[in-house]
Amino acid sequence: MRALYEWTMDLAAHKHARWGLALISFVESSVFPIPPDIILIPMVLAQRAMAWVYATICTLSSVAGGVMGYAIGYFLFDTVGTAILDFYGKAEEFSTFQAQYNEWGVWIVLIAGLTPFPYKIITIASGVTALNFPIFIVASLIARGIRFFAVAALLWYFGEPIRAFIDKYFGLLSIVFVVLLIGGFALLKYL
């Protein structure tokens, strides 16, 4: 494990590491199963002064990849998805799902973009249901920006000790943050 860690840290300091971060962030939002955090974290730890640049690269690339995921859902659904729904007799049920998804879509994108939930599922589902595209982009920018800038900020401020903490409690931290976010919005709505 130590050798793998050192290899990742060396790779993170490589002159082409930014392109790798951008590529991983892009494909993770549409098809790739591994989150960009595995590259973002060692890159920030290797060069803490570049934390904000790395978070920006990660955010913009992730949202661009989300557009690709949206396009996959939007354009392939008519050719593949409808045939599957018709075969199983579920086309009418899908219309109900689509209406519900679009009603809550902004919240779905915001919450999923902040958590370890596979973001690619949300980007593709947003395309399948034809979620309002500008809303999808804004929610993605907010959610992914908060996620990657929070990771970068914690690593920039605390350095190496925070890495172990984030690695150990990332899922729990994401859930707590989402609960606080939803609670804050609910509080604002009812006050």
Give the whole-angstrom CA distance, residue 178 versus residue 105: 15
pLDDT tens digit sequence for 73-122: 899 888 877 776 677 677 777 778 788 888 888 888 888 787 777 788 88
Average pLDDT, the chain: 81
Q: What is the pTM of this model?
A: 0.75
Report d(CA 164, CA 171) in Å as an integer.
13
Q: For residue 142, which of 113, 179, 164 has the smallest C-alpha distance?
A: 113
> pLDDT tier at 2 (50, 70, 90 boundaries)?
very low
Collapsed DSSP state (helix, strand, coil) of residue 134: helix
For residues 128 and 75, the answer to whether their CB atoms sit within 8 Å is: no
Q: What does the block give as tokens for 18? A: 């930014």
Q: Please choose, from the candidates 13, 30, 21, 33, the residue with its C-alpha nearest in 3D space to the C-alpha of residue 57.
A: 21
Domain ranges in the chain are: 2-190
pLDDT tens, position by position, 41-53: 888 887 888 999 9
